[in-house]
C-alpha cells in the first residue's frame, strides 16, 4: 500500500509539474505580447489519513490562474489611438463580429491596452477585432448622464476619415472705437459700417452688417450712437437696434455709460452682452461692460475695429483623432476646430483576477469578478488613459527561466521516485524465485 501510494503520488507530481511547465511556456511565449498577463500554477498538498502507525502518500493538486491585476510597463508608440490604462481600471471593448450584425447585442469585454485603428466602416478596432466602446457626445461636446452600472449608452466608437464638421456661430466679441468727433455739433453725421462674417447651422458664410449712426446735436456733443444690426440671411432685416451712450467724465471718458434697446434683447449689464436672432438662431454679442475699456469705446477722431472675433466654422475635413487622459475622443478638422465625439470610461470590478480570460488579451466579467462600474478616467479608484502608448507583457523572462529550471528538477525528481518504486516492485517480484 505504501509503495503503491508513492507511485501514484509521483505520477501526480509529474502531472503537476507538467501543468506548471505549461504556464511557464505560455508566459515565455507571450513575453513580447502587449497586454499579456502572467499565468501561474499553484501546488496544493493532498493529505490522506490512513490511521495511526501508518502513512499513505496523498499527492499533489494544482490550480492555474492569471494575474490580471499585475500591470506591465508602458512603452511609447507613434499612434494617437494606441491606448493603455495607467493604474486601475480597464477599457470597454466588444467584438467586431457583434458590431457588424445589424441590431445585434454588443457584449462587454475588457482590455488594458490596444492599438486601435479605423476599420473599413470607421470603427476604432484592433487588428484582433476588438472595437472600442464609449458614450457619444451631444452636439455641443457635452456628455449626457448615463447609468454607471450598465452598458446601456455605450456604443462602438466610429470616426470616419471622410467625416465633415461645421460649427454655427453663437458668440461674437465686438470691440470697436467710435470717433468722439462724430457726435459733435460740427460733425457731418457720417455713418460708420462694419460687416461681420458668421456661419449658419449648415456651415455657410453669412454676414451681420452693423451700422453706427452718430447723434449730432445742435450744439455741444451728444456722445450717443445708434447701433443697427442687419442679417444677410434674412434679407438684411434689422435684428437688433441699440442706443449707445458714452461717458465723457474724467477717468471714465470714452467708456460705455448706458445701452438701451429698440430691437433685439435687452443689454445684460452683468455680462456686457446683447443677443440677436439671426435666421439660424440666436447669437450673443459681447460689446463690453459699462465703464470698461475693452469693449465699445468712443475716443479721438478715428473709427477703429479693435477686435472682432467669433466662434463657429465652415465645413472642414477630419485631420486627426486623439484621446486624452480623461477618455475624451476629440476630432480635429482642417478649419482649426476640435470637436469632442465620445468619452471612453474605465471599467472597474471588485476582483480583477476573477475575470474570465479570452483570446487577444480580452476579459469578460463573471460572478467571481463581481459587478462592474463605469468610472470617468482619472476619477474614483481608477487611473487614467495614456495615448501614444501600449502596455507591455507582465512576464519577467528571468523569473520564468528560473521557474523553468526548478520545474525541470522537480519533474526529474518525481521520475526518479517512479524509477525507485519500479525497482522495489521488481525486487518484491524476485522473492518468488
Q: Is the pLDDT assigned to residue 48 strictly greater than 90?
A: no
At residue 313, φ and ψ (nearest 5 deg) are -160, 160
How far CA 335 is from CA of 141, 165, 169, 340, in Å, comes to 17, 9, 14, 15
pLDDT confidence band for 338 (50 / 70 / 90): confident
Cβ 46 vs Cβ 61: under 8 Å: yes
Most confident of 44-48, 316-320, 329-333: 329-333
Q: Mean pLDDT across the stretch 6-33? A: 90
Q: Mean pLDDT across the stretch 255-277? A: 94
pLDDT, position 318: 80
pLDDT confidence band for 164 (50 / 70 / 90): low
Q: Is the pLDDT assigned to residue 50 strictly greater than 70?
A: no
pLDDT tens digits, one per residue of 207-229: 999 999 999 999 999 999 999 99
Higher-scoring residue by pLDDT: 430, 296: 296
| Of 7, 24, 11, 22, nearest in space to 61 by CA | 11
Percent over 90 (pLDDT), the chain:
69
pLDDT, position 352: 95
Cβ 312 vs Cβ 167: under 8 Å: yes
Q: Is the pLDDT assigned to residue 124 strictly greater than 70?
A: yes
Higher-scoring residue by pLDDT: 74, 420: 74
Domain boundaries, the chain: 2-70+394-430, 87-163+341-391, 169-311
Q: Mean pLDDT across the stretch 364-375? A: 94
Q: Is the pLDDT assigned to residue 5 strictly greater than 90?
A: no
Cβ 91 vs Cβ 112: under 8 Å: yes
Mean pLDDT of the chain: 90
Q: Mean pLDDT across the stretch 330-348? A: 89
pLDDT tens digits, one per residue of 229-254: 999 999 999 999 999 999 999 989 99
Domain 169-311 part of CATH 3.40.190.80: no
| Range in 100-114, 281-295, 385-399 the model is least confident about | 100-114
pLDDT confidence band for 393 (50 / 70 / 90): very high
pLDDT confidence band for 425 (50 / 70 / 90): confident
pLDDT tens digits, one per residue of 103-121: 778 899 999 999 999 998 8
Q: Mean pLDDT across the stretch 325-335? A: 89
The model scores a pTM over 0.85: no
Q: Is the pLDDT assigned to residue 410 strictly greater than 80?
A: yes
| Range in 224-228, 408-412, 420-424 the model is least confident about | 420-424
Taking each helix axis from N to C end, the angle separating 2-29 and 397-430, rounded to the nearest 10 degrees, works out to 160
Q: Mean pLDDT across the stretch 192-201? A: 93
pLDDT, position 51: 62
pLDDT, position 96: 92
Q: Mean pLDDT across the stretch 277-300? A: 93
Amino acid at each position: 500500500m505504501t509503495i503503491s501510494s508513492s507511485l501514484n503520488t509521483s505520477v501526480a507530481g509529474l502531472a503537476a509539474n507538467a501543468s506548471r511547465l505549461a504556464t511557464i511556456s505560455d508566459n515565455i511565449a507571450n513575453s513580447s505580447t502587449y497586454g499579456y498577463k502572467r499565468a501561474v500554477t499553484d501546488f496544493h498538498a493532498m493529505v490522506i489519513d490512513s490511521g495511526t502507525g501508518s502513512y499513505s502518500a496523498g499527492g499533489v493538486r494544482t490550480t492555474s490562474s492569471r494575474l490580471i491585476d499585475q500591470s506591465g510597463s508602458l512603452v511609447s508608440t507613434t499612434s494617437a489611438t494606441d491606448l493603455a490604462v495607467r493604474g486601475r481600471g480597464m477599457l470597454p471593448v466588444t467584438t467586431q463580429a457583434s458590431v457588424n450584425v445589424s441590431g445585434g447585442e454588443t457584449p462587454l469585454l475588457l482590455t488594458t491596452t490596444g492599438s486601435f485603428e479605423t476599420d473599413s466602416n470607421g470603427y476604432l478596432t484592433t487588428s484582433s477585432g476588438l472595437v472600442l466602446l464609449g458614450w457619444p457626445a451631444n452636439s455641443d461636446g457635452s456628455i449626457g448622464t448615463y447609468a454607471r452600472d450598465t452598458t446601456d449608452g455605450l456604443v462602438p466608437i466610429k470616426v470616419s476619415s471622410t467625416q465633415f464638421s461645421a460649427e454655427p456661430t453663437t458668440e461674437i466679441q465686438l470691440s470697436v472705437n467710435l470717433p468722439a468727433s462724430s457726435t459733435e455739433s460740427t460733425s457731418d453725421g457720417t455713418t460708420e459700417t462694419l460687416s461681420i462674417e458668421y456661419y449658419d447651422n449648415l456651415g455657410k458664410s453669412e454676414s451681420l452688417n452693423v451700422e453706427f449712426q452718430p447723434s449730432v446735436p445742435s450744439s455741444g456733443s451728444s456722445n450717443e450712437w445708434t447701433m443697427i444690426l442687419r442679417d444677410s440671411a434674412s434679407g438684411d432685416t434689422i435684428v437688433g437696434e441699440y442706443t449707445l451712450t458714452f461717458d465723457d467724465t474724467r477717468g471714465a471718458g470714452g467708456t460705455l455709460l448706458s445701452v438701451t434697446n429698440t430691437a433685439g434683447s435687452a443689454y445684460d449689464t452683468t455680462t456686457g452682452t446683447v443677443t440677436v436672432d439671426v435666421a439660424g438662431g440666436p447669437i450673443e454679442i459681447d460689446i463690453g461692460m459699462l465703464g470698461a475699456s475693452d469693449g465699445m469705446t468712443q475716443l479721438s477722431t478715428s473709427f477703429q475695429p479693435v477686435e472682432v472675433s467669433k466662434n463657429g466654422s465652415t465645413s472642414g475635413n477630419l485631420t486627426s483623432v486623439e484621446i486624452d487622459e480623461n477618455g475624451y475622443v476629440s476630432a480635429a478638422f482642417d478649419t482649426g476646430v476640435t470637436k469632442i465625439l465620445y468619452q471612453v470610461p474605465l471599467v472597474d470590478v471588485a476582483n480583477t483576477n476573477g475575470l474570465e480570460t479570452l483570446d487577444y488579451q480580452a476579459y469578460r466579467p463573471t460572478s467571481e469578478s463581481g459587478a462592474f462600474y463605469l468610472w470617468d478616467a482619472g476619477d474614483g479608484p481608477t487611473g487614467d488613459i495614456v495615448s501614444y502608448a501600449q502596455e507591455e507583457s507582465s512576464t519577467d523572462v528571468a523569473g520564468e527561466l528560473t521557474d523553468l529550471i526548478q520545474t525541470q528538477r522537480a519533474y526529474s525528481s518525481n521520475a526518479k521516485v517512479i524509477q525507485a518504486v519500479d525497482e522495489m516492485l521488481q525486487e518484491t517480484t524476485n522473492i518468488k524465485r
